[in-house]
């Protein structure tokens, strides 16, 4: 079992500080692909690993590339998109932030945070997984990188790494930050995404939303998830 790390003060990397779009909004474009059988348990974890390697960007060289492209006055951060491969059907792991936090309280996100000075982004992502969920870096196999997401209001560039958990982990959430750990089947996530239009302070936006039986994934987390789902589709 991983040694728990002390809690650290750090900015979350979930999304810009605006509320989620109402689930009753019109102008919705849903994505429902019939080509998701390969993640349904009919294929072994090795095939999923190979598929991810083929569609994700390589980790080697990604740190330098993202830092070179960092917009002015923007801080680098990273997250891990954890995928459990020990279950019959692969499951994606999310965290729900505690309701007492000053920012992004109660939101669903991936484990992650700001990189420390001199720390490479993949190491930062693995450190955050250990600090938030108690999972040792050695138990997470990073298999690739997704396109970065820039949260303009908070001026953070989020670099998402996809990580596989081959054994069923015993999560020990950091109670100061994490209210609960959520797991959703990858197959279901590939069928429920919806692009919604909504209005905030006089401006109209389009955003991806995933409604998992009332558990709403939106903002930067939904953008990262949609990037993963889009690459996995045939």
Q: Which residues contact residue 5 at a Cβ distance below 8 angstroms, ignoring those fewer than 6 apart?
A: 127, 130, 131
Q: Examine the pLDDT at 7 and tell me if it is beyond 80.
A: no
pLDDT computed for residue 158 by the predictor: 95
What secondary structure does DSSP assign to 125-174, as a single string? HHHHHHHHH---GGG-EEEEEPPPEEETTTTEEEEEEEEEE-S-------
Highest averaged pLDDT of the listed ranges 45-49, 113-117, 191-195, 212-216: 113-117
Q: Residue 86's closest CA among 183, 165, 143, 163?
A: 165
Beta carbons of 109 and 180 less than 8 angstroms apart: no
pLDDT for 26 equals 36
Q: Range with the lowest mean pLDDT among 54-58, 136-140, 205-209?
A: 205-209
Residue with tokens 């109670």: 175
pLDDT, mean of residues 103-109? 77
Cβ atoms 171, 133 nearer than 8 A: yes
The greatest distance separating any two alpha carbons of the chain, rounded to the nearest whole angstrom, comes to 50
Closest by CA to 111, choosing from 62, 86, 66, 78, is 78
**Residues 137 and 127 sit within 8 Å (Cβ to Cβ):** yes
pLDDT surpasses 50 at 31: no
Q: What is the 3-state composition of the chain as percent helix, strand, coil, each rounded to the nearest 5? A: 25, 30, 45
- pLDDT given at position 104: 62
Give the residues across from 84 on adjacent strands.
91, 165
Four-way CATH pick for 33-64+73-232: 1.10.150.650, 3.90.79.10, 3.90.1200.10, 3.10.20.30:
3.90.79.10
Over residues 151-179, the pLDDT tens digits come to 877 789 999 999 999 888 899 999 988 99
How many separate helices (H) and strands (E) can be counted in the chain? 5, 12
Pick the more confident residue, 133 or 4: 133
pLDDT at 54: 94
25-29, 90-94, 168-172, 209-213: least confidently modelled range? 25-29
In this predicted model, what pLDDT tens digit does every residue of 131-155 receive, in sequence order?
A: 999 999 999 999 999 999 988 777 8
């Amino acid at each position: 079992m991983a040694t728990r790390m002390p809690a650290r003060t750090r900015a979350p990397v979930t999304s810009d500080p605006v509320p989620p779009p109402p689930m009753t909004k019109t102008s919705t474009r849903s994505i429902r692909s019939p080509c998701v059988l390969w993640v349904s348990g009919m294929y072994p974890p090795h095939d999923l690993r190979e598929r991810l390697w083929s569609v994700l960007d390589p980790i080697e060289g990604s740190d330098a590339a993202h830092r070179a492209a960092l917009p002015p006055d923007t801080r680098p951060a990273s997250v891990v998109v954890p995928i459990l491969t020990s279950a019959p059907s692969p499951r994606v792991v999310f965290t729900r932030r505690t309701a007492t936090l000053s920012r992004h309280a109660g939101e669903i996100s991936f484990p992650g945070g700001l990189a420390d000075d001199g720390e490479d982004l993949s190491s930062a992502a693995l450190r955050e997984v250990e600090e938030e969920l108690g999972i040792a870096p050695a138990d997470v196999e990073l298999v690739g990188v997704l396109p970065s997401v820039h949260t303009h209001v908070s001026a953070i560039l989020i670099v998402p790494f996809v990580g596989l958990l081959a054994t069923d982990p015993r999560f020990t959430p950091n109670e100061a930050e994490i209210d609960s750990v959520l797991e959703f089947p990858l197959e279901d996530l590939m069928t429920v995404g919806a692009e919604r239009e909504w209005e905030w302070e006089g401006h109209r936006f389009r955003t991806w939303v995933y409604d998992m039986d009332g558990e709403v994934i939106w903002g930067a987390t939904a953008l990262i998830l949609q990037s993963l789902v889009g690459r996995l589709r045939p």
